[in-house]
Amino acid sequence: MKKPSRNWKSVWMAALDRARRSALEPLNVLYPIHATACLCYLGGFFRFQFFETNGNFTLLSASLLLIVAVCGVLVPILTGSVFTLLYADRRLNKLIEEQNNHLAHQNYV
């Protein structure tokens, strides 16, 4: 079997770089959204569980309860998305690093 040409390797590196820029980098916004949803959910949980409520159900507490409930639904969904994004990012980094090491080794030899 023939070894890949220099042109093929450069096209492969360009494709990996483009995959990173077009697929993974736009989704990096999920990390702060996930962190915000987790903090909001935990803050609301502690507020409603441990802090004293005086029995009056106001519009503010109703809106806070609604926000905490929405964050509670978003946390498991975003957790799966963030783990998938992290796995894809690490896999793509590994492929890029392998290709760079192979190119460096080939240029050295």
Q: Look at residue 49 in the predicted model and tell me its pLDDT.
A: 85
Does residue 2 lie within any of the structural domains? no
pLDDT tens-digit profile of 24-43? 889 999 999 999 999 999 99
pLDDT tens-digit profile of 38-73? 999 999 999 888 887 677 778 888 899 999 999 999
Which runs of consecutive H residues, i.e. helices, occur in the chain?
Answer: 6-19, 30-50, 59-108
Does residue 90 lie within any of the structural domains? yes
What's the domain count of the chain?
1
The predicted model scores a pTM of 0.78
Q: Are the C-beta atoms of 81 and 29 separated by less than 8 Å?
A: no
Q: Structural domain of residue 40, as residue ranges?
A: 27-108
Does residue 73 lie within any of the structural domains? yes
Amino acid identity, residue 100? N
